[in-house]
Amino acid sequence: MAATKKGSGKDKGSGKDKVMALVERALNRNPKTTNADLFERAKKVDPAVAKLSLRQFHAKYPLQVKRKMRPKRRRAPRGAIRTASRGTPPRAATSGADRDAIRQTLLKFAKEISTARNKAETIDILADVDRYVNEVVRAAGR
């Protein structure tokens, strides 16, 4: 009688497998099947499912099935990601802009932020960012 006892490892695994198979079949037939409908049908297959909330059931069964059904994302090769993220150089860098002036402006901005003594001073410096933007635009020759 111990083999048929409700909490035994065999019954537990097979009940979960049956519920997972039920959910998988139902979602393959109709991907728009509601969680509530699946939940009611799963309770009939495995009474232990009734202890779960609808939210727990969704996370344990339908969500996992939907993840498996979803097509795999294709990833670009590593080298392609690096070059794509850099893209083409900005116009200012290619149009003879004064790179040193821009660099000095950005360093001055960073230095002011790093010497701020508290959050209020940092916010004041950041609020004055337009002044630095204007300097960079001037250095870019626009």
Dihedral class, residue 5 (left if φ above 0, else alpha if ψ from -120 to 50, else beta): beta
**Over the stretch 15-57, which tens digit does the pLDDT of each residue have?**
899 999 999 999 999 989 999 999 999 999 999 999 999 999 9
Q: What was the pLDDT predicted at 56?
A: 94
- Distance CA(139)–CA(131), nearest Å, equals 13
| Residues 124-133: contacts with CB under 8 Å, at least 24 apart | 132/105, 132/106, 132/108
Average pLDDT in the chain: 81
Angle at 128 between CA 122 and CA 129, to 5 degrees: 95
Tokens 């049908």 sit at which residue?
Answer: 41
Instruction: Calculate what percentage of the chain has a pLDDT beyond 70.
Output: 76
How many Cα atoms occupy the beta-carbon half-sphere of 22 within 13 Å? 20
Query: Could you tell me the residue ranges of all domains in the chain?
Result: 10-69, 90-140
**Over the stretch 112-136, which tens digit does the pLDDT of each residue have?**
988 989 988 888 888 888 888 888 8
Q: What was the pLDDT predicted at 95?
A: 54
CB 79 within 8 A of CB 56: no
